[in-house]
Structure 1
Amino acid sequence: MTSRALRRDAVENRAGILDAARQTLANHPHASVDVIARSAGLSRRTLYGHFEDRDALIRELIANGAQRFNEIAASVDDADARIALARLASRLWQEAAHVQVAAALALDEAHVADTAEALAPLRRTVAALVRRGQEDGSFRTDLAAPTVGRLIEEMARTVVSRTDAASTGAENLAVRSVLSIAGLSWREADELLAAHPEIARPEAQE
């Protein structure tokens, strides 16, 4: 076998391990390395050839997920900070809802430092949105922008880990919670979402 074929096999094995880990952890959050390796159709030895331990594997999952979240943050460009924040919350929720258990693992205390580093671009986006909203009078000003951003992050952590992503209104709850922390009343959130029904999926507003 050529070195190119070997490299291709290694890349495919690594991708297969990550896919198996996502699916396995979705059903069994505390699944062992052995279980994940079997799910990938590989030996434990092969898995350890790519990841030194279970934490290293989870860190890789976090990094991959964070890249997608950061890309979503970069794609939101609404001039109105309220709309931008609501749209960002909605899009992030839709992404997290597909990998809720993996997202919850990323937000777990054991991996909070890795998550914080991986999601630094997203954090900067949220902080910038909060500052913009404070400057134009849309958001609360009794707290500093970094503090509001951290409160939003903690709320998201709770919603992702505690809410059934498939439940009716889950996305709507996430968006409204973010807007509430930013300083909007429930009436203002109602008006905003009614004026921009594309922000949340229709079934979330039924």
Structure 2
Amino acid sequence: MATRAPRADALANRAGILNAARTALTTDPQASVDVIARGAGLSRRTLYGHFDDRDTLIRELIVIGAQRFNAIAESIADADAQLALARLAARLWHEAAHVQFAAVLALDEAHVEHTAEALAPLRRAVDDLVRRGQDDGSFRTDLAAPTLARLIEEMARTVVARTDAASAGAADLAVRTVLSIAGLSWREADALLAAHPDIAETAA
């Protein structure tokens, strides 16, 4: 027997709940199910018809956000490893700055395991990029590739979780910090970013 497609109103309700959750959590990361349901113009019962509990709803937001981050990783096609890392950092920063509330929730210890699973494609992309940069001599080689990739990831976690992430100059600092961890000097980072001003424009 064929599975019946969800009704249009059910799909609309689910989308409304997710949008209301984004709005509510932007103001208050601890926003309750009641607040989210009211924001969607629905009852708690209707919300629970779509999501078992608040954590299930948050995990759905994490998955949606992860899909966007993973797509960004897949879009980076620069052959130069340094340029690819700078562009990846800038584009991820730009996305995270617009959904910082979700990023903070995703990096919370209660959800970090689920987040790691959802972001597996992005993590593989970073691992591959680090190995490529080490192989061609453009990244530091005093650290094993998995260790260097994790250092880059941990720096990203720290920056995204900061409440002043949208402040002036923060994006440029984030990109430069990633490049520094990869082994570039500040002069090398300067030269790379000066040669590719579109990277800074992406991160702004």
TM-score band by shorter chain is over 0.9
**CA deviation string 1:121-159 (max 9, x = no partner):** 000000000000000111011111111111111111110
Unaligned 5+ runs, structure 2: none
For the pair 1:62 / 2:71, whether they are aligned, the reply is no
* Structure 1: unaligned runs, 5 residues or longer: none
Q: Kindly tell me: are residues 71 and 203 of structure 1, through their superposed partners in 2, closer, same or farther at Cα, counting changes over 3 Å?
A: closer
Partner SS state of residue 198, structure 2: coil
Letter in 1 for 2:140: R
Deviates more, 1:61-70 or 1:193-202: 193-202
Aligned-partner Cα distance in 1 for 2:15–2:52: 16
Using the size of structure 1 for normalisation, the TM-score is: 0.94
Distance apart, 1:166 and its partner CA? 2.5
SS in 1 for 2:140: coil
How many residues were matched structurally?
201
CA separation of 1:53 and 1:159: change in aligned 2, threshold 3 A: same
Q: How far did 1:165 drift?
A: 3.1
The aligned residue for residue 100 of structure 1 is 100
Is residue 2:45 matched to residue 1:33?
no
Residue 141 and residue 163 in structure 1: after superposition, are their counterparts in 2 closer, same or farther (change >3 A)?
Answer: farther
Which string of whole-angstrom CA distances, capped at 9 and with x for unpartnered residues, describes residues 32-74 of structure 1? 1111111111111111100001110000000000001101100
Which residue pairs with 2:196 in the alignment? Answer: 196
> Could you tell me which amino acid in structure 1 is paired with residue 78 of structure 2?
D
Do the aligned partners of 1:155 and 1:178 also contact (CA within 8 Å) in 2?
Answer: yes
Structure 2 CA distance for aligned equivalents of residues 187 and 64 of structure 1: 37
The aligned counterpart of 2:9 is: 9
Does the 8 Å contact 1:37/1:44 carry over to 2? Answer: yes
How big is the shift at 1:163?
4.7
Provide the secondary structure at the position in 2 that maps to 1:162.
coil
Cross-structure match for 1:74: 74
| Cα pair 1:169 1:203 within 8 Å, conserved | no
> Aligned with 2:200: secondary structure?
coil
In the alignment, the residues of structure 2 paired with residue 34 and residue 19 of structure 1 have an alpha-carbon distance, to the nearest angstrom, of: 14
- For 1:117, the equivalent position in structure 2 comes to 117
AA of the residue aligned to 1:159:
V
The answer on whether the counterparts of 1:163 and 1:170 sit within 8 Å (CA) in structure 2 is no
Identity, in percent, stands at 78
Amino acid at match of 2:56: A
Decide whether the 8 Å contact of 1:21 with 1:36 is kept in 2.
yes
Contact between 2:91 and 2:203, CA under 8 Å: does it hold in 1?
no
The alpha-carbon deviation at position 108 of structure 1 amounts to 1.1
Q: Take 2:37 and 2:7, find their aligned partners in 1: how far apart are those partners?
A: 19
